[in-house]
Amino acid sequence: MTTVSASGKRVLLIIGGGIAAYKCLDLIRRLKEHGIGVRCILTTAGAEFVTPLAVSSLSAEKVYTDLFSLTDEAEMGHIRLSREADLVLVAPATADLMAKMAHGLANDLASTALLATDKPVYIAPSMNSQMWTHPATRRNLETLQNDGITIIPPGEGDLACGEVGAGRLAEVQDILSTVLQALKHDNPLQDLRGRKVLVTAGPTHEPMDPVRFIANRSSGKQGYALAAALAARGADVTLISGPTMLDCPPNVTRVNVETAQQMQTACAETLPVDAALCVAAVADWRPAQRATQKNKKSFAPAAGEEQKTQIDLVENPDILAWLSQHEHHRPSLVIGFAAETEDLLQHAADKLARKGCDWIIANDVSHVGDDAVMGGDNNQITILHRDGQDKWPRSSKTVIAEKLAARIAAQLGAMPE
């Protein structure tokens, strides 16, 4: 598919109420730097956080606020506002705006324009974590996804209300990258249409008894971001996920599993596929025996002695090697991830040769705290392949996923379907 520059395209930005509205000022500036025209609707609540003058100064366009303005409707009615853009973006998308969209309400300029548009709609939710996880919001989110609206998921961390959790507006760079990807294609993000892709993500939990299990710190964020980016390009994506707290990306089929053996079974049931991305942090070992009741501590040791116990482990299936060497349904492109804490490139190169996959994505997971890869929002990768290696700068996992999706699309595009 021929790609085109996003320059010259137009975005209708609907700014909802919430402290995150101030980030839209930076978003407007960055969109303009890419030659994208930005026309804005500022909701009544949004105007409590950013002024029409600030929005107008950055967008170099009139800001629209009132559905019943005779002047505005004469010069640029809500129908034209919603139709003359190439893409409609709602940021921040509040719980109230999402509820209006899900139920087809149209009692102000923003909701009326959204109901009248025939263009792709993207929303970047932002709200308190309890509001984000409330059943009503989850129902509305599902309705919006079924209506074909693309969700730019919120991040996790400190919220303006003082709480900690999911609900932060996605980073401006992530929103920008998503919009640019959508605008840079004649038929946005459809260069993987007709391709089937398998993605594994998250950790596996290997039970010792009904209460305890062996696991790792994987959050699943990179795998979920990849599934979302591939689906946005039109791929038929099956996401086989270990236990995570993440929402399923739009237009992705998720299969929930717990153990490595269950993950391999789910992969087998998904084949054949064009590409397989083994992003999951699969436990290498599992307990040889799983107790049917909770294991209790034995009698207390003698004074000065530590309590010791022994757990016998057996090796789990190597899903990446199994897919790479599959006799009947080996995918055209098999990609593995190497999470290492030392000798990153050497271990990754050994893994590439040993497993038989096409690419290995190497990342250093030794960092902890705000710089952590496992559980964090950012990553730095090196792609190893038969012809060499490519090191990418540290970026958000969403940006890395979109860049990888573009590279995968290019690779599969050179192969027969």
Q: How far is CA 329 from CA 237, 270, 275, 324, in A?
A: 17, 10, 11, 9
Residue 87 · residue 9 · CB < 8 Å? yes
Q: Which of 360, 369, 396, 366 is nearest to 380 (CA)?
A: 396
Q: Phi first, then psi: what are they for 157, rounded to 5°?
A: 145, -160
Measured from the Cβ of residue 187, the count of other Cβ atoms closer than 10 Å reads 10
Active site residue 161: yes
Tell me how far apart the alpha carbons of residues 175 and 277 are, in angstroms, rounded to a whole number: 24
Catalytic residue among 24, 40, 161, 357: 161
Largest CA distance in the chain: 88
Provide the β-strand partners of residue 214.
Answer: 206
Reading the block at residue 233, the tokens are 């390009």
Reading the block at residue 142, the tokens are 């599902």
Tell me how far apart the alpha carbons of residues 66 and 213 are, in angstroms, rounded to a whole number: 56
Strands 150-151 and 359-364: unpaired
Measured from the Cβ of residue 395, the count of other Cβ atoms closer than 10 Å reads 18
Cα dihedral across residues 302, 308, 310, 311: positive or negative:
positive
Q: How far is CA 28 from CA 34, 360, 414, in A?
A: 10, 37, 36
323-342 in b/e form (b: 16+ CB < 10 A) is: bbebeeebbbbbbbbbbbee
Tell me how far apart the alpha carbons of residues 179 and 62 are, in angstroms, rounded to a whole number: 21
Reading the block at residue 250, the tokens are 């739009």
Residue 355 · residue 299 · CB < 8 Å? no
Q: Which residues are catalytic?
A: 161
